[in-house]
Amino acid sequence: MQFKSLCFVVLALLFTGCSSTYYSAMEKVGVHKRDIMIDRIMDAETSQQAAQ
């Protein structure tokens, strides 16, 4: 049971590190985090409308 918890914590830290690195790289190129989030929200809304 503890092994699963440890794996979950390690994976969570890895994914958090990857996303922060991704956002940092995108900001250096000129794409802000809020723009990425807006695009993701718009994609989710489109997917939900298509599913209906």
In the prediction, which pLDDT does 44 show? 95
One digit per residue, pLDDT tens: the chain, 52 residues?
A: 587 777 777 777 666 677 788 888 889 999 999 999 999 999 999 999 999 9
pLDDT at 38: 94
Write the single-letter amino acid at 18: C
pLDDT at residue number 1? 58
The model's pTM is 0.59
Cα separation, 21 vs 39, in Å, equals 18
pLDDT, position 9: 74
